[in-house]
Amino acid sequence: LNDNPSHYKVTLSGIVKSPKINFDPPFLMLMPVPLDVKTETTINIIPQDFLRKSQIQVELPELELEDGDRIYPFSIQFPEGKNIIISSDGTNKELICHISFRSSRPVSFLGNMFFIDEEAN
């Protein structure tokens, strides 16, 4: 500066945060019910480190019965919407998700439901 040929070194450091979602409760267990009776529960989806608006999609499992038939006994509802919103303080608002199960055929299931954002995370 001011015609001084000194060299300056600037070092920058930072932390990269990847968006993620957590669940409360962290796993789901629906109670056995009679055939064709709906059982349901509510979970909270807790998004973290999303820097822009995004939308959650859900991949529901397809179940194969003993006779080879395939059914989709699960359904999902987001009563307040599926959009991940960033609040003014930079945090992400929780989402409410209703998960229900109904089957007219006997079935049990242990597996995963996938909740993904628009970038397939």
Region 105-114: what's the mean pLDDT? Answer: 87
For residue 80, the surrounding DSSP H or E stretch is: none
61 found inside a domain: yes
What is the C-alpha to C-alpha distance for residues 121 and 116, in angstroms, rounded to an integer? Answer: 5
Q: What pLDDT, in 10s, does the model give residues 8-54?
A: 778 888 887 888 899 999 988 888 899 999 999 999 999 998 888 88
53 found inside a domain: yes
59 found inside a domain: yes
Q: Give the CATH number for residue 100.
A: 2.60.40
- Predicted TM-score of the model (pTM): 0.77
Domain range for 104 is: 20-116
Higher pLDDT, 90 or 46: 46
Q: What percent of the chain has pLDDT over 90?
A: 46
Decide if pLDDT at 82 tops 90.
yes
Number of domains making up the chain:
1
1 found inside a domain: no
CA atoms within 13 A on the CB side of 70: 3
4 found inside a domain: no
